Amino acid sequence: MSLPVLQEREAADWRWQARHAVTDLDGLERALTLSPAEREGARRAIEGGFPISITPYYLSLCDRVDPSCPIRRQCVPRVEESVEVAGDLRDPLGEEDHEVAPHLVQRYPDRALLLVSDRCSVYCRFCTRSRMVGQGGGARSMDALAEAFDHLEAHPEIREVIVSGGDPLVATTRRIEAILTRLAQVDSLDTVRVATRVPVTLPMRIDDALCRALRAFPATWLMTHFNHPKELTEASSEALARLVDHGVPVMNQTVLLRGINDDAETLEALFRGLVRRRTRPYYLLQADPVRGTGHLRTPIATGEAIMARLQGRLSGIALPKLIVDTPGGHGKVPHGPDYVVSRGPGVTRFRTFRGREVDYLDPPG
């Protein structure tokens, strides 16, 4: 999507980007040559499905004519979204059943998820929370979050909070700082994770003031979400550099998506690119079985085969864990290829990435 010369200055402003996000079929038609499946998907989304929002920046990464473009497939609706398959769930991670206070979800003994908004700059078509994002509520006020903060103070076993939504960074810096400052007052918390796709879809949002605000909680980690090497642009690279240079550690969660990144070569390029930008690949996530996303999900065996290809060929700091977040909210499970050939008394035989079988002997006693 080309931007008029007179708008270049405005386009570097994240608020301008947010205001000019494409949210309707006319906007998509002006920017892209839509396929029939995309056109019908957009029409259904607008009429009551999962809403559309794509920043001009992220739209500019799309191939204008190719509907198989890996960026385009992440953000442009398709008619397949209206098809439900076996295993599809409205709330695949059981977040509603695990809500312990308004906007606070606890699925693990020591962690809780704080949902501070339903807005994102781009609504990814595979979103786990498509049931709630973009529904008009917007950012939750501090009053609305008060019970969640009280719950955290009353339960010191919770040592970590993941701030998510929607995207918590599609808000004013003052508001973000207020949330993190309030969390810093909960003495039992060790760390806060901020989950955001802003470095990917709205990188101009990552300015110096925001980076300073992220330090309002002393141990803030930023979890971002790059899925394809095409997203590693000059703008996103600058955003990651700014975060790290301000002392904010950054890790990345990639979702494995059919026809987008479900091959070893694409993911190797992505993971190497992230490490060059001082961003640690953390998880490669099996896509959650969200209603209407069957066309974007891969079989479990696909991820296992990819990890087998990457093991030993990619540095350990560039190799994420392969994870399934089990349906129903029962927690994440690491999985992958099995390198154990056999087990016997005091000896385990492994198969290396080169295919060689090697015995490891236990110590005596």
* Active site residue ranges: 107-108, 111, 120, 124, 127, 129, 288, 325, 332
Alpha-carbon gap, residue 133 to 130, rounded angstroms: 6
CB 336 within 8 A of CB 322: yes
**128 half-sphere exposure, CB direction, 13 A CA radius:** 21
Alpha-carbon gap, residue 84 to 88, rounded angstroms: 6
Q: Describe the crossing of helices 173-184 and 146-154 by its angle, rounded to 10 degrees.
A: 20
User: In this structure, what token pair is assigned to residue 258?
Assistant: 């059919």
CB 150 within 8 A of CB 197: no
**DSSP per-residue codes, 294-306:** TTT---HHHHHHH
SS3 state at 68: coil
Q: Which residues pair with 361 in a beta bridge?
A: 347
Alpha helices of 185-299 — where are they, by DSSP H? Answer: 198-201, 208-213, 234-245, 264-276
Alpha-carbon gap, residue 149 to 299, rounded angstroms: 39
SS3 state at 147: helix
**DSSP per-residue codes, 204-228:** GG--HHHHHHGGGSTTEEEEE---S
